[in-house]
Structure 1
């Protein structure tokens, strides 16, 4: 059996393989009169760069009384955090703090949002899938600093890096990073030990820090970061081509053992995975329907004391049983900065472990009835001023609201409009014949009523268009046979070899029609495909336009990856803006291109 000192060094070496230094704290305190010491955690999840108060349903939250209130916005998050903080407080997060963000943040590669989170004192966060929207290399830049390799420095100057630690215990390299394994072994004086080799082989070389240790009132608190294992299917494949996302439970258990080896027994999982809830319930209720998040919360090592989650944008507070039958907290705090999860607990000074019976949690709605934080108000206004010339530029007009709400078939007016714009942008050069848009990429609707910026009713600004499509995906065109296209459409539905999590109806360009029967067996759901009114045959070739997320097999549409003759064109937002330029007054399309059969 390896000695404690050897295991401690082993852990440090494994982390060193990813360029990570394990943080350590002061030596164990001497005789302390108190048997326990208090710790408070304040957590956020799925902030998505909402520096300004989110609007519409995204800016409302059901509070503890059952009332629906306006919630969210950086200036209010900051005030509520100050009111909830005391000398025992650590602030943490559960991922998707950036990515799919409003233009105020996205225009500068989310540096404003990361700076804000540092200003309010976040100390550690799990990575979310959206942290990988611009790829692993860009995430490392956000973590460590430096100007963007293409766009250069923002108006604020050279980026200094995140003030908090991003954690991803289940994110490892597909193959050892250049010299990583040698570096890890070399740190042991060149000792090529079987135990260390086995550990590296079983777990892999971490691509991100797996854990962070923070000291509070003389005791160490260990945080384990995890991201949903579905990340490869919901982000652009090129940006994570060198990474593997291993099972969350396996990674958490390895990280838990490593923390325990170095004497950290108070352990908290920050996981970007969660569950859906029963609608309309209080954020303090346990309304979570057991799913992917619950699996993690119930199966990770019993040494782990609580699981703070994200990803599903829901708010709940649950107690679940760990593998030994003891209860532990499983929570989530909504999204967009509308809820702060407050967790109070005691840590036994002698054992350094959480006294689970002392855990008290509360989901605090970030109401807008408090005084906005003056420092953050000035900070947000600075970035609003910087981005205003771009955000407020008119790009076209609409005659009425164009909504992203799905019709009975699953298509929407806005989805059709976006697909039509993508087809127009890829006909020349890419020779596209149809276009398909993923519904999850249509993030908001377009409203006819003018905004406070004063552009006027019916005017669509670049900022509003960006809110609809915030990912900066690249438009691409591939060749599929009619049979391959049918398989793509079959993959919209649950079941089948692609394991679609829930039905996702691709938004078609208006010249493409077909019929589906959701009740038919998988593989026989799609029929009557037509392009410009002409039947599609299995053997004909079709030039299909889609964003690079879909072309890479995103959202479990694996059949896209069988396409050939790849052509790349403009960014999706540029295609959308160009469509407005070519059609200055747009009437909402009728979403009637898909027929639903029994």
Structure 2
């Protein structure tokens, strides 16, 4: 139905018709708008995403720490080969290729020092050449960069020839920064505190710090002109400078140790993270050679193992407008040789320097029958290690000293089974330290040893003595000479150490405090080489308990011997005594006994035969493998010699018929006379007849127990021919 109205000569359509038309028109327009929106929205979304991406810069940091000049060294663990500089280069260059224009390669110190000989023999300049070939952009210093002193570090950074280096050495072609190492006299830093790198329009500040413990780990004489200030205070000071320059993306290269704990970190590096400005976003740790990938106080902390066997791959997103790091995450990547091709440029550098030093490295100086581990001694029953023992004995051998101490941190590698080359020994002792022999009173050795204990255990390997200690108290219990006798505290001894220990900045080892008359010796490496060469055959060294927490003495087991032969408790002619002991610790070394009331002691083997007539007093004790001595026990044994005279005594004391007893005594005395006439065979025939006669006597004629004792003695005399003629006696006594 349709209604039409005329108002003011205008036609007005009915409301029903008009509403329907308007509804259809609205729907059509809405659909058109929806279609347009669906077509346009993806364009706007893409533009928004692109705008956000253009607001941030993706930056990759590749970090290495604690290379220690091990440029030609392969580390093998569980049959997997890790590291070596040409493989490290391959990995780093491959990762850089994923973001070539926005990648920086950085390090947090100890790239040199304690190096393999191909680098160390040329003052670590080969390592620097390889770092430049890889393309490092910035680094800092660790404690080992100061091994040769301040001036040598500055030469390494800035360039200059060294007599043992390469000709025309130009230094490092990338900045090395250290914000907390300054000259004592002026307070000026020895290196720039930070470096600024610009990547795709954004600036990143890199601040370097070295551990404040460095003076305790290097030769004191080489760094007398500098000091190391608080790491956190230095970082905060130069963070303010960077912020004043508008830089908010800040990375700290910190040669400071730490450990993983779940998703966070502990130790000195964690304390550093908590105490530095929150504008610091990333901290590259080092020094304790572990893998670390953690967050502390919203700061990313990484450390990548050691010796180029791994590296950290850190991805950052930096806001273009604010300059802040808005995203950060890291991966620790192992440098596994299998499946990788060594970088040809770095391989060529290695080949060049190996050719220069090769003949010296390959010299064979000895042969090891077993592998020898080194490093620091440990807590436990056996705390020493084979390689430390070898080195300490070599120090005594070279300097003809009584005692030797070798710090664990100076033993940098293990010794494999097989041929021992000069290169092997250099890798173990790479620091070119020299030996120093001093004189100490015997009473000083204990406080010197106590000074080297820490919460981790002992520091030094030892030669010329052994000791037991208590880790709960960190104190020595006993000190013994090699023969097991205690050290003479009133005596005087010579002690050999290396010059690092002797010159230690804080006299940590107490050598200077307690010693006098220092005598300089050769390099420690040469002493070890000479000692190894002194062996006529293969060398076998083991961990033997020179250092031990076993200070509990063995326990003796009661002596074992059969029951007495005679009713008076004595033994006929001789008796064998068996001695034994138990030890809950390292084990029994030996048992010893004394037959003269402790004046002299003899080593017990298997069975002790006692045959001295009369009362024998036997003292015995046990000694374990670290010279702990048990209590001394005493055993009394009575011996009755098997003789005709003693047989007569038994007959006289026996219960029995007097006439029978008198007859037996007469027969025995006649046998004695026969011996005196030097008719030995006839005398023994007489004794056999007497024995036979007694055996037929009834218990009424001779008491059973007495009869058995008399027969037992006679049988022993006959079988062992214990009676001798008078003519034989002088010759026997003379012999």
Does TM-score exceed 0.5, indicating one fold? Answer: yes
Distance 1:256 1:561 in 2: 41
2:509 aligned with 1:549, yes or no? no
The equivalent position to 1:50 in structure 2, one of 47, 70, 82, is 70
Distance 1:517 1:345 in 2: 50
* Structure 1 residue runs without a partner (length 5+): 1-31, 61-67, 177-203, 279-284, 322-326, 450-458, 495-500
Distance 2:282 2:404 in 1: 45
Measured after TM superposition, the shift of residue 530 of structure 1 is 3.3
Residue number in structure 1 paired with 2:278: 302
Measured after TM superposition, the shift of residue 287 of structure 1 is 6.8
Q: Considering only aligned residues, what root-mean-square deviation do their CA atoms show, in Å?
A: 2.4
Contact 1:414/1:588 (<8 A) preserved: no
- Call closer, same or farther: CA 1:531–1:556 in 2, change over 3 Å: farther
Residue number in structure 2 paired with 1:403: 373
Contact 2:465/2:479 (<8 A) preserved: no
Distance 1:558 1:253 in 2: 34
Matches within 5 A, 1:534-573: 535-553=486-504, 557-562=508-513, 563-573=515-525
* Structure 2 residue runs without a partner (length 5+): 1-51, 553-735
Residue number in structure 2 paired with 1:466: 426
The equivalent position to 1:374 in structure 2, one of 327, 344, 351, is 344
**3-state SS, counterpart of residue 566 of structure 1:** strand
The equivalent position to 2:445 in structure 1, one of 485, 505, 515, is 485
Contact 2:75/2:82 (<8 A) preserved: no
Residue number in structure 2 paired with 1:175: 185
Higher relative contact order (CA 8 A, sep 6+): 1
For residues 351-401 of structure 1, the C-alpha deviation after alignment (integer angstroms, 9 at most, x for no partner) is 22222xx11212222221222111111111111111111100112223333
Distance 2:154 2:312 in 1: 27
Distance 1:166 1:529 in 2: 50
Distance 1:146 1:418 in 2: 35
**3-state SS, counterpart of residue 66 of structure 2:** coil
- Call closer, same or farther: CA 1:314–1:594 in 2, change over 3 Å: closer
Measured after TM superposition, the shift of residue 159 of structure 1 is 1.0
For residues 144-170 of structure 1, the C-alpha deviation after alignment (integer angstroms, 9 at most, x for no partner) is 11122xx3443xx22111122222211
Contact 2:123/2:165 (<8 A) preserved: no
The equivalent position to 2:159 in structure 1, one of 145, 148, 160, is 145
- Count how many residue pairs are aligned between Structure 1 and Structure 2: 492
Residue number in structure 2 paired with 1:345: 316
- Call closer, same or farther: CA 1:56–1:70 in 2, change over 3 Å: closer
Contact 2:125/2:165 (<8 A) preserved: no
For residues 307-326 of structure 1, the C-alpha deviation after alignment (integer angstroms, 9 at most, x for no partner) is 111111111211111xxxxx
Residue number in structure 1 paired with 2:256: 273
Distance 2:289 2:164 in 1: 33
Matches within 5 A, 1:182-197: none
Contact 1:50/1:102 (<8 A) preserved: yes
**3-state SS, counterpart of residue 536 of structure 1:** coil
For residues 132-189 of structure 1, the C-alpha deviation after alignment (integer angstroms, 9 at most, x for no partner) is 11111111111111122xx3443xx22111122222211112222xxxxxxxxxxxxx
- Call closer, same or farther: CA 1:531–1:237 in 2, change over 3 Å: farther
Q: Which moved more, 1:576-585 or 1:264-273?
A: 576-585
2:124 aligned with 1:110, yes or no? yes
Distance 1:106 1:296 in 2: 32
Matches within 5 A, 1:53-72: 53-57=73-77, 69-72=80-83
Measured after TM superposition, the shift of residue 555 of structure 1 is 9.6
Distance 1:87 1:533 in 2: 68
Distance 2:488 2:185 in 1: 42
Distance 1:445 1:467 in 2: 8
For residues 52-85 of structure 1, the C-alpha deviation after alignment (integer angstroms, 9 at most, x for no partner) is 242334xx7xxxxxxx843211111111111111
- Call closer, same or farther: CA 1:93–1:472 in 2, change over 3 Å: same
Normalised by the size of structure 1, how large is the TM-score? 0.78
Contact 2:259/2:290 (<8 A) preserved: yes
Measured after TM superposition, the shift of residue 532 of structure 1 is 6.2
2:232 aligned with 1:249, yes or no? yes
Residue number in structure 2 paired with 1:426: 399
Matches within 5 A, 1:6-405: 34-57=54-77, 69-85=80-96, 86-148=100-162, 151-154=163-166, 157-176=167-186, 204-277=187-260, 286=263, 288=265, 290-321=266-297, 327-355=298-326, 358-368=327-337, 369-404=339-374
Residue number in structure 1 paired with 2:35: none
Measured after TM superposition, the shift of residue 586 of structure 1 is 4.3
Contact 1:348/1:354 (<8 A) preserved: yes
Measured after TM superposition, the shift of residue 42 of structure 1 is 0.8
Contact 2:383/2:546 (<8 A) preserved: no
Contact 1:480/1:542 (<8 A) preserved: yes
**3-state SS, counterpart of residue 175 of structure 1:** coil
Measured after TM superposition, the shift of residue 593 of structure 1 is 2.3
2:530 aligned with 1:578, yes or no? yes
Contact 1:484/1:559 (<8 A) preserved: no
- Call closer, same or farther: CA 1:553–1:485 in 2, change over 3 Å: farther
- Call closer, same or farther: CA 1:545–1:385 in 2, change over 3 Å: same
Normalised by the size of structure 2, how large is the TM-score? 0.64
**3-state SS, counterpart of residue 401 of structure 1:** coil
- Greater share of residues in helix: 2
Larger Rg: 2
- Call closer, same or farther: CA 1:245–1:539 in 2, change over 3 Å: farther
Contact 1:45/1:333 (<8 A) preserved: yes
